[in-house]
Amino acid sequence: MENLQVIENAADEEIAAWIEARLIAALAEGGGPVEIAVPGGSTPFPILEKLVMAPLDWSRIVVWPGDDRIVPEDHTASNTGRIRALFEPVGAEVVTLTTMEQVPLFALVWLGMGADGHIASLFPNTDPQVNDGEPIRRLTPDPLPPEAPFDRITLTIPSLLNSEAMMFVIRGADKRAVFDAAVAGESDLPIARLLGAATQPVTCFT
């Protein structure tokens, strides 16, 4: 992938600073809102906690969860609730995903990836398509992850691809092997389908 840059052994502070620089550039391009998508899970939140300390015009930034578990926002499993608690105090808008949402062109889509090759809540059993006609879907992972056994709502591959840049934070040898195989076109997992269709810059932090 000529559009892929891998940054090895990146610290949380380095990743947060990279995102801050992307947001500064996007804010400078015009006067409208800047929309980004971010993941849930254990890896992103320490990075996001550093990001919200940046002196940005947060009132112009709209934060979308890439996906969420279908639970109330005050539930411990809610990505949206945790994202809202971080970003709203600094003035950003946080979107609650519904299937009626109009998905924008994202300045940045940050995705996590599971060891099974899933991205957002597009698990292998859901057979996500790069030409999906729906921007957002409600899905049921199979098998349900034991740590979060809930139905999901998620951006689809076309919505994730509707972005000026994408980034990943891939940590652990097992996930790295899955990611590298996807980059090489050696699998048909959701991550491979996304990367195979991506034309924008993709940055992977390890």
Q: Which two tokens stand for residue 169?
A: 């934070």
Total of domains in the chain: 1
Q: Which pLDDT score is estimated for 84?
A: 97
Q: What is the residue-level pLDDT of the chain in tens, covering all 206 positions?
A: 899 999 999 999 999 999 999 999 999 998 899 999 999 888 999 999 999 999 999 999 999 999 999 999 999 999 999 999 999 999 999 999 998 889 999 999 999 999 999 999 999 999 999 999 999 999 999 888 888 899 999 999 999 999 999 999 999 999 999 999 999 999 999 999 999 999 999 999 99
pTM over 0.85: yes
Rounded Cα–Cα distance for residues 122 and 159 (Å)? 12
Contact in structure between 123 and 190 (CB atoms under 8 Å): yes
Q: Which pLDDT score is estimated for 16?
A: 98
Q: Domain range spanning residue 143?
A: 4-205
Q: Which pLDDT score is estimated for 127?
A: 96
CATH for 65: 3.40.50.1360
Rounded Cα–Cα distance for residues 3 and 55 (Å)? 29
User: What DSSP string runs through 27-71?
Assistant: HHH-SS-EEEEE--STTHHHHHHHHTTS---GGGEEEEESEEESS
Rounded Cα–Cα distance for residues 38 and 9 (Å)? 20
Q: Render pLDDT for 67-119 as a digit per residue (tens, 0 to 9).
A: 999 999 999 999 999 999 999 999 999 999 998 889 999 999 999 999 999 99
